[in-house]
Every structure is written in C-alpha cells, then in structure tokens.
Amino acid sequence: MIKVGIIGSTGYAGAELVRLLLGHKNAEIVWYGSRSYIDQKYADVYRNYFKLVENICRAEDMDALAEEADVIFTATPQGLCASLVNEEILSKVKIIDLSADFRLKDVAVYEEWYKLEHKAPQYIEEAVYGLCEINREKIRPARLIANPGCYTTTSILSAYPLVKEGLIDPDTLIIDAKSGTTGAGRGLKLQNLYCEVNESIKAYGVASHRHTPEIEEQLSYAAGRPVTISFTPHLVPMNRGILVTAYASLTDRSLTWADLQAAYERQYGGEKFIRLLDEGVCPETKWVEGSNFVDIGWKIDKRCGRVIIMAALDNLVKGAAGQAVQNMNLLFGEPEDEGLRLAPVFP
C-alpha cells in the first residue's frame, strides 16, 4: 500500500487528489495537510466526503510528513514546495509538486516570470517534467516530479506530434486557451467572484502569461531548437475544463488530415488517456469532465495553409490531480490508469 500525504489538500486540486486516491486500490492517504483548516475534520471542509473521510486536517509539515508517507503531493502556490524540500526529505520520500517550482530548467526564467526567488535551484536539473505521455521513462526512477498544469498540458500535447515531426512551423504557433474558474484556485479573489465571472468571458495575461515559457521549453525539446509561441488564456464562466484552439502554418501545404493523423497515432496511438477524434469532430469540455482524458482534433485550412488544432481536458484531473496520480503510478510500478478509470461525467 502506497502511503500518501497531501500538502494543500483543501484547495481544489488537493480535493480532487482525495477523490481520485479514495478510488485507488493500492493507495492510502495518511496526511491531509492544510494551512487554513488545521485540526478541523476534512469532511467539514468538503461535505461531499462525509462518511468517506474521517481524518482531520494537519499542518503543512513536510519534515514530519516524510516520516509517514511514501509520496507527498504538494498542491500549493508557487514557491512553497521549493522552500520546504531538502536532501533529507528527498532521501525518504518522493515528491510530486503541482506548482511550477520545478517545471522550468532555467532558474532565471522562473524568477522573471513568477516574480519569486527560487529557494531550491539545486534540484531544478534533477526534477523530471511529469508529462507522462512524453517523459514516461524518465519519470519512473525519479524522486522529484514537476507536475504540469492545465494550460500547459493541453497546449503541449495538442501540438507536440506535429512539432516533433516537423509538420508545422512552431514559431507560427498561436494558442488560444479557455479555462473554467477552478483553474484560478480556491482563494478569495475579487475577479473570481460569481458576479464578476458570470455572463462574461475575458482574456488575461495577454502576451505575458507565466505558462508561456513552460510551453515553449517543452515544444523546443520536440523541435530540437528554441521555439517562440503566442499564448493567450481566457476565463470562461464554468467550473471545470480547458479548451485550446491552436493555429500554425504547415511546412507543406499538400499535407492532408490523414497525414497529420498518422503523426498523432505514431506519438499517441498506445496512450490510455489521449483520445484522437474522428475527422470533423471537435473536442468539447463536457465530454472530458471528471476524467483524465485529453480529446484532440484538428482541421486543415487549405486556403491559408494552416492547421487548426483543438484539445480539451478537465483542468482539475488531467490538468492537475489526475496527472499527479498518473505520475505516482509510474513511480511505484502501478498500472498507469489505476485510480483513473473514470468515465467523463455528463450532464
């Protein structure tokens, strides 16, 4: 049995980790960490866990937790995991960090985009970027996983095969992404209040969103050279979901839908959680809600010589907690889909 500790268990991603791990046959949550609800019953914070979770919330004490757990999930704001991790802890326990602390390999880039001093730069090179479909074999022996977020997972997975095989010019890539409000976390923020979000849609972080360098870094590995993209996120009035619509110039205007399908099949044909849609079918967030699936579709605009790539996922599952559990399964030799065999919820 894998003993699991969660720091940040009362945030949206943390609560989703609880939901998934309760259905994992070989995992037991031994620590529900929370800064805001110490000594309160977890089921009093989230009443959906009434009669399912009897534990109380405990402090965010990584040193003590490392003595009890085999793996620690840190579902916390940027900067916290880096401030807590050290060699003694990593010698005892594996860490899957859901923040951005170890996703970028250049500490200067992290500090520029996140406006934070990195507290543990010595572990950046060791940390493995936990996008399972791309880095599976690097993840298995790791002790520190940088779990990708929702915008980045959708953006990278949607374009990766076409960039890797040279079928698009990655420097022409424009990514238009839309997210439900849970992507902003559970903290009280004026711009996320119901009356501020409802009946509206807005772009934010235009030409400056901090996930941009992360997408660029991973696509640069695929391209074998530095890549620069244009990324614009939008907030939409729904609870869950990410929809990416990306545009890029084809390197050969004679390429067909089937040519691109072959590239996606070569990269993702055996993947459990990537669903390549039939020609003419566009992804919708409602068909992935509550699941660990990513739905990907594409259409060629012959008139412009461009491809339009579309992808949808649940930002709290494949975009956060589900991906983290997928990483845990790889670390501990479990079936990759253990605890994640969930059909999307509809309606």
pLDDT in tens, 138-179: 999 999 999 999 999 999 999 999 999 999 999 999 999 999
* pLDDT above 80 for 187: no
pLDDT at 143: 98
pLDDT at 196: 87
- Quote the CA–CA distance of 78 and 104 in Å, as a whole number: 12
pLDDT at 195: 85
pLDDT at 184: 79
Percentage, residues of the chain above pLDDT 70? 100
- Global pTM reads 0.96
| pLDDT class of 77 with cuts at 50, 70, 90 | very high
Grouping H, G, I as helix, E, B as strand and the rest as coil, residue 344 is coil
| pLDDT class of 193 with cuts at 50, 70, 90 | confident
Q: Which of 186-190, 191-195, 334-338 has the highest mean pLDDT?
A: 334-338
Measured from the Cβ of residue 257, the count of other Cβ atoms closer than 10 Å reads 14
| pLDDT class of 194 with cuts at 50, 70, 90 | confident
pLDDT at 335: 98
| 57, 81, 132, 150: the active-site residue | 150
Q: Which residues contact 323 (CB under 8 A, 6 or more apart)?
A: 130, 131, 132, 147, 148, 153, 292, 317
pLDDT at 321: 98
pLDDT at 156: 98
| pLDDT class of 64 with cuts at 50, 70, 90 | very high
Model confidence over 87-102: pLDDT tens digits? 999 999 999 999 999 9
Rounded to whole angstroms, what are the CA distances from 211 to 147, 231, 281?
A: 13, 9, 28
The CATH homologous superfamily to which domain 151-314 belongs is Dihydrodipicolinate Reductase; domain 2 (3.30.360.10)
Helix (H) or strand (E) holding 206: none
Model confidence over 287-342: pLDDT tens digits? 999 999 999 999 999 999 999 999 999 999 999 999 999 999 999 999 999 999 99
| pLDDT class of 191 with cuts at 50, 70, 90 | confident
Domain boundaries, the chain: 2-148+318-331, 151-314
- Residue 163 near residue 223, CB atoms below 8 Å: yes
The dotted CATH code for 2-148+318-331 is 3.40.50.720
Looking at 111-125, 176-190, 269-283, which range is the least confident one? 176-190
pLDDT at 186: 80
* pLDDT above 90 for 123: yes
- Quote the CA–CA distance of 153 and 327 in Å, as a whole number: 14
304 included as an active-site residue: no
* pLDDT above 80 for 203: yes
Write the DSSP string, 82-136.
HHH--HHHHTT-EEEE-SSTTT-S-HHHHHHHH----S-GGGTTT-EE--HHHHH
Segment 213-227 shows an average pLDDT of 98
